[in-house]
Structure 1
Amino acid sequence: MKLAFEDYISIFIHQTDLTLTSYVKSRLAPFNLAPEQNLIMMLLWQKDGLTQNEIAEKLNKDKTNIARMIFNLEQKGFIRRASREHDRRSLQVFLTEEGKELGNRVAAVAEEFNAQICEGITEQEFAQVRRILSKMCANLETGIADRSSHT
């Protein structure tokens, strides 16, 4: 093993993600909302009426997981699903009144969380983090494309 455990950037990113997710989970628990469910809700608070497929694409998640999370959110009374008029197989997801009201309460938690983790970080540093992480993703996508073209 050439690199030490702490030298792998992917491990550091993963540990950071676990820390952030754990904190978010504790803050969302009083709202009966899991962090991944919150991502769906955030998309709907931004634009109500997305299809399940659009949600899956925006979150880069497989459709089966999204369908399960949407079902759970529907059971909680936060959303409702409806078939689209011109395509009965495609389901649109809409906020219920309870879901809309939840957005008003969770928005404050999300803003506070974002402010806390970005404290002391300049806009330039934040832009640099986004650029670097985007490059890392692009490196993986390029590597995956290169490997699949050689098979």
Structure 2
Amino acid sequence: MKLSFQDYISIKIHQTDLDLTSYIKSKLEPYNLAPEQNLVMMLLWEKDGLTQNQLAKALNKDKTNIARMISNLEGKGFLNRSKCPNDQRSMEIYLTSCGKELGNQVIPILENFNKVVCKGISKEELKEMERLLHLMNHNVSTII
């Protein structure tokens, strides 16, 4: 039996991603922060001083893309780069005071967003969804 457009799981996931991204984009816009840039900031709000390589690995992005985002965030005054004391070829990324203050404003928005998105979904259902998404990612990674 041939699948219809709405039967493809990839379409459902893509539409959900578009909806979630559109919503968070509107919430981050007043802070001059794009959703992808927000991911870098979230990692640094969690642990300041990560290297560009650590950020690239955590976000599954290429180093060029991460370097561009870091430059953009540095230009906005949210971050500073510093040579790694142990490895002069690596750069550590640190939040500026402005970047830390941004976290005080944005993190509550992100936490509320997470609460809204997960409303009516049990912890067990969230764990199962995470398991299924991980399995899908694994399935795709084996063919590319």
TM-score, structure 1 normalization: 0.92
Q: Name the SS for the 1:143 alignment partner.
A: coil
* 1:75 matched to 2:80: no
Is the radius of gyration larger for structure 1 or structure 2? 1
Q: Indicate the residue corresponding to 1:116 in structure 2.
A: 116
Q: Which amino acid in structure 2 is aligned with residue 64 of structure 1?
A: T
- 1:49-88 superposed matches below 5 A: 49-88=49-88
Q: Which amino acid in structure 1 is aligned with residue 57 of structure 2?
A: E
- 1:69-148 superposed matches below 5 A: 69-144=69-144
Q: Indicate the residue corresponding to 2:19 in structure 1.
A: 19
Q: Indicate the residue corresponding to 1:147 in structure 2.
A: none
Q: Indicate the residue corresponding to 2:48 in structure 1.
A: 48
- How many angstroms apart in 2 are the aligned matches of 1:141 and 1:43? 24
Q: After the TM superposition, which segments of 4 or more aligned residues of structure 1 sit over 3 Å from their partners?
A: none
- How many angstroms apart in 2 are the aligned matches of 1:68 and 1:141? 25
- How many angstroms apart in 1 are the aligned matches of 2:87 and 2:131? 38
- Where does the alignment leave 5 or more consecutive residues of structure 1 unmatched? 145-151
Q: Indicate the residue corresponding to 2:8 in structure 1.
A: 8
- Where does the alignment leave 5 or more consecutive residues of structure 2 unmatched? none
Report the RMSD for the aligned CA atoms in angstroms: 1.1
Q: Which amino acid in structure 1 is aligned with residue 116 of structure 2?
A: Q
TM-score, structure 2 normalization: 0.97
- How many angstroms apart in 1 are the aligned matches of 2:108 and 2:86? 37
List per-residue Cα deviations over 1:26-47 (Å, max 9, x = no partner): 0000111000000000000000
- How many angstroms apart in 1 are the aligned matches of 2:58 and 2:127? 20
* Percent of aligned positions that are identical: 61
Q: How far has the Cα of 1:59 moved from its partner?
A: 0.2
